[in-house]
Structure 1
């Protein structure tokens, strides 16, 4: 029966077999929907990747985001995949706490702005859903911005307004270490047991000025305190479901997903394989331990030049099987089963999770593969439109409306 839909007419008691859409037809439909609907992605780490590669703002260098074989994002691949509004991550490493965080954030925002100025026929800034929709109608890719790590607030509440004025539309409160705002899911220090007193002020101020609160990366205690404090919906810009990664606090457990939905918020699923499948991280840890032992036996460290061919050969001989596009759909299914289709979206972490991306979602050209998988699972066009952008738009508009 996988090739047919069976319809029963109760009035005439007749059975009619109607051919269902074939795989090829569904793939064409998936590609059509990917370009018909706006696709927003909560987290693309292009700016920091370009900075690490010594990216410069001179006009001749700004061709890099148009077409390249490096990284996961460029204009050509984004257009192929139907990606219209990727949030550019203004990523600030934890080491920048009290160490030039504000200056680094400003430089990355300048970079994103410079890209749009160098390629006005391809990219545009978007500080609101309405602006992103206008850009979409013009065929432009919008580059809204979210700040990953609140360290650039630098203990000055007025900087929340400053970052809004600079175009930041969400702030991930912390990253891999506790900071002056809250505790991190990756840290075990428990500096504040959640939000700091200043962090409580930050959440209220973000509500006031119209910046979405992003609870990806925060500790569980921080999450629950934010939920009790915020007056508007929040997002998890790039997190997945802890059900599939037991013990991994960086992902959200079922109670947190339900609570985020009660708040009318959205969890945007991270595509990194270690976020999708706990066994992948386990296997990677095992292989890393084997490699470390091998290097020690050879009297080498990871930093030694002579270690590079050893590492390369080991990685070639010990490839770890990554998750695939079906696993991402499993996470979406799980959120829908817990809370409904109104509370989930895409938060790939492209250019941020390295070579752990799942089969079928290796770069921004492959969103149609995920839409195809959702269609196969029975998601309607309306459901897919919500997942692609409408759920996030609802939160973004609500935050804007409350600020106004």
Structure 2
């Protein structure tokens, strides 16, 4: 039976037994058999990830600034993604987050940083055109997939990048940006951030309303991760196009954590024909992990103050590693699927996807989901819970492609 199943991965559902077609029940396989099936699915299905912070990691390493191209082709022990691990995991279109820290809202230079990060992504593609390609539409991702190329679509994280000029929305769309996260860690000119208690605008600002309309006009996806609930509902009321949380998880698992999406927000996303893309950070997935993380952070901040050190000091890094060891509960990849299950039970299979936040959440990733090679573990867990091939394909890419195409369609009208 195992040999029959393993030889039928591509056709997936049906096999012959006593001249009858029968449905393969993947819940009855062993974990090892199910993982082999999952690997085959991952490599034969497009996997879109809504958010990865690789560009800012490259920027911090300084390679491109020194005229060197970041070595994306070699397997690394650093970060969460490189070409080798991406191919092993079957991820085909990880959105490159053009991340603008909130500090740039005060110092200036946000647009310049965005241009630099976009240039870094473009330089990678120019360096390895036989392996990588930009992607500005679902069709381009599909074509790249057929050619065996890894697509690198781009989205801006923090609308501070457009500064105070609405024309910059069009500028970045022309540069290849296909979604924009409206805020990040602080309120900005567009609206209020879930990480900021100031509530500068009480929701979406007047400028923010113009930004939403312009994004609709251009066909740029509105990313509602990081914004306050008030800002979200302002956006939902105004936007004619579907809206997406590209890297958020379910607030029911982390009560009071506004950065995650509430049931009411999930329902509104579905009503707008949008979606939530579940993110992988431990503090987003599990309240016990979040509590332990908060205690560790508070202790470290006090220790740094007492020792006149900052996070980047080598001595501080060593202390942080040693102190944090074994102080957090273990979170497993199954917790990601718990969040997927919650969305599916609440609003249906059509409104959920994956948005890892790889390279953006440090070492807080679940067991079995530490880097881009491990997407098959998510698929294996979905199989274990009885999800069908069609449902898994929706989670991996079809839901996001539906949203993206509708955003484009509304723009053409």
Given the superposition, is the C-alpha separation of residues 26 and 308 from structure 1 closer, same or farther in structure 2, using an over 3 Å criterion? closer
Given the superposition, is the C-alpha separation of residues 289 and 264 from structure 1 closer, same or farther in structure 2, using an over 3 Å criterion? same
Shift of 1:65: 4.8
Alignment counterpart, residue 119 of structure 1, candidates 124, 128, 152: 128
Given the superposition, is the C-alpha separation of residues 294 and 208 from structure 1 closer, same or farther in structure 2, using an over 3 Å criterion? closer
Q: Is the 8 A contact 1:92 1:101 kept in 2?
A: yes
Q: Is the 8 A contact 1:238 1:347 kept in 2?
A: yes
SS of equivalent to 1:115: helix
CA distance in 1, matches of 2:316, 2:135: 45
SS of equivalent to 1:198: helix
1:48 aligns with 2:28: no
Question: Structure 1 stretches of 5 or more lacking a match?
Answer: 1-17
Q: Is the 8 A contact 2:59 2:65 kept in 1?
A: no
* TM-score, reference length from structure 2: 0.89
Report the counterpart of residue 395 of structure 1 in structure 2: 403
Greater shift in the superposed pair: 69-78 or 304-313: 304-313
SS of equivalent to 1:72: coil
1:24 aligns with 2:37: no
1:78-89 equivalences in 2 (<5 Å): 78-89=86-97
Report the counterpart of residue 12 of structure 2 in structure 1: none
1:372 aligns with 2:350: no
CA distance in 2, matches of 1:295, 1:46: 28
Q: Is the 8 A contact 2:159 2:180 kept in 1?
A: yes
Given the superposition, is the C-alpha separation of residues 28 and 196 from structure 1 closer, same or farther in structure 2, using an over 3 Å criterion? same
1:167-224 residue CA offsets vs partner (Å, 9 max, x unmatched) = 0000000101000000000001011001100100100100000100000000000000
Report the counterpart of residue 134 of structure 1 in structure 2: 143
Given the superposition, is the C-alpha separation of residues 167 and 306 from structure 1 closer, same or farther in structure 2, using an over 3 Å criterion? closer
1:309-328 equivalences in 2 (<5 Å): 309-316=318-325, 318-328=326-336
Alignment counterpart, residue 143 of structure 1, candidates 140, 146, 152: 152
Q: Is the 8 A contact 2:288 2:329 kept in 1?
A: no
Given the superposition, is the C-alpha separation of residues 86 and 312 from structure 1 closer, same or farther in structure 2, using an over 3 Å criterion? closer
Report the counterpart of residue 4 of structure 1 in structure 2: none
CA distance in 1, matches of 2:193, 2:347: 25
Given the superposition, is the C-alpha separation of residues 138 and 230 from structure 1 closer, same or farther in structure 2, using an over 3 Å criterion? same
SS of equivalent to 1:184: coil
* TM-score, reference length from structure 1: 0.91
1:256-278 residue CA offsets vs partner (Å, 9 max, x unmatched) = 10110010001000100000011
Given the superposition, is the C-alpha separation of residues 287 and 341 from structure 1 closer, same or farther in structure 2, using an over 3 Å criterion? same
CA distance in 2, matches of 1:136, 1:357: 27
1:349-364 equivalences in 2 (<5 Å): 349-364=357-372
Report the counterpart of residue 156 of structure 1 in structure 2: 165
SS of equivalent to 1:132: helix
Shift of 1:244: 0.2
Alignment counterpart, residue 386 of structure 1, candidates 373, 394, 397: 394
1:324-339 equivalences in 2 (<5 Å): 324-339=332-347
Alignment counterpart, residue 307 of structure 2, candidates 288, 292, 300: 300
SS of equivalent to 1:221: helix
CA distance in 1, matches of 2:401, 2:329: 35
1:132-171 residue CA offsets vs partner (Å, 9 max, x unmatched) = 0000000000000000000111121111111100000000
Aligned length: 384
Q: Is the 8 A contact 1:43 1:348 kept in 2?
A: yes
1:239 aligns with 2:248: yes
Alignment counterpart, residue 192 of structure 1, candidates 201, 204, 220: 201
Q: Is the 8 A contact 1:301 1:307 kept in 2?
A: no
Q: Is the 8 A contact 1:78 1:365 kept in 2?
A: yes
Alignment counterpart, residue 42 of structure 2, candidates 9, 34, 59: 34
Shift of 1:307: 4.8
1:252 aligns with 2:256: no
CA distance in 1, matches of 2:114, 2:268: 31
Q: Is the 8 A contact 1:40 1:83 kept in 2?
A: yes
1:102 aligns with 2:105: no
Given the superposition, is the C-alpha separation of residues 306 and 231 from structure 1 closer, same or farther in structure 2, using an over 3 Å criterion? closer
Shift of 1:97: 1.4
